A = this chain, B = another copy of it.
Amino acid sequence: MSEAPTAVDPRMTSGCAWIDGVYVPSAEARIPILDTGFVRSDLTYDVAAVWKGKFFRLDQHLDRVLAGAGKLRITSPLTKAEIRTQMHEVVRRSGLRDAYVEVVITRGVPAQGERDPRRWAPRIYVYAIPYVWIVRPELQEAGTAVVIARDTYRIPPTSVDPTIKNFHWGDLVRGLFEAYDRDAWLAIHTDGSGHVTEGAGFNVFALVDDVLVTPERGVLEGITRRTVLEIAAELGIPTRVGLVEVEELSAASEIFLTSTAGGVMPVATVDGRAVTADGMGPVTRRVRDTYWAWHEDPRFVDPVQYR
């Protein structure tokens, strides 16, 4: 840290990446094309948000990415403390106050002709870019339009473990295109058996008979999702984590999506049908406001030392 610059390098203001020990602007950051993180999507990753200069629940993101690597039998090249240091450092060097900070751990590049993945050296990449909004804040007030994907089911946990955060987005991207074709912006996927799972980068919550429900299985155990469950407990809103039938979305009085990339995002319509009169229901609003308030709560934050 002693050699760090005292002023922000102007090339870094759109993001800074740390790759192979070197800090570069994120837009110029490159990874080996032969990395099996690319040619097999054999990796796990995580994204933490920095909001007003403070990481939110960074510890939980670090624990999750290391747990994911362990489940994949990838040995992280860095310890938890070292990853934390690099995540802080890329933000500090970018000067970004609101940032999307990603760490990726891959199985690495095989030596020529070596097909046994147990013999490869894992790689790690860290980068910060400006905060990403799945739904822009100015559009959140009116709520977003979603569809239930009709013919693309979420990749089942019997094929790919969704609790290991991954880039297997083929189904999710297909859902996005289905949404566009049907005049909506996002798609919620089922498991093919009538149960709600998740969408492209977000978990799903619905208020059904005054209980906030969210799927238990076949989804990422999102940190925003967990935060919302804790907020609900603090606000005295009953919750249920379990199977959620697609029909429950029709019966719901409020629906929102959660993600580190956008927070708590109200849903205005599902398959063209209005969920709430005003786009954002009162419970969603309370949860959302508390979510952002917690981003300045010392219990959960980890300030970046910009200097």
Contact = CB atoms under 8 A, between A and B. Distances in A.
A168 B192 CA distance: 19
Interface stretch (A156-164, A240-248, A283-291): A156-164
Residue from the set A154, A159, A161, A176 with the largest chain B CB neighbour count within 10 Å: A159
Contact of A112 (B130, B169, B177, B180): B130
Interface stretch (A35-43, A77-85, A267-275, A294-302): A35-43
Interface string A114-131: 011110000001010110
A16 to B, nearest CB: 12
Contacts of A72: 173
A19 interface: yes
A45 B38 CA distance: 11
Interface in A182-225: 192
For this chain, the copies found in one complex come to 2
A90 B58 CA distance: 44
A180 B117 CA distance: 10
Contacts of A167: 38-41
Interface in A120-161: 125, 127, 129-130, 132-134, 151-156, 158-161
A153 B159 CA distance: 5
Q: Give the 9 A-B CB pairs with smallest separation, nearest first.
A: A30-B30, A160-B170, A40-B169, A41-B41, A159-B171, A155-B159, A29-B33, A41-B167, A168-B168
Given A112-B130, A158-B192, 12 more contacts: A26-B33, A30-B30, A37-B38, A41-B41, A41-B170, A72-B173, A73-B177, A115-B132, A116-B180, A155-B159, A166-B170, A168-B168
Interface of A: 14, 17, 19, 26-27, 29-34, 37-42, 45, 72-73, 102, 104, 107, 112-113, 115-118, 125, 127, 129-130, 132-134, 151-156, 158-161, 164, 166-174, 176-177, 180, 192
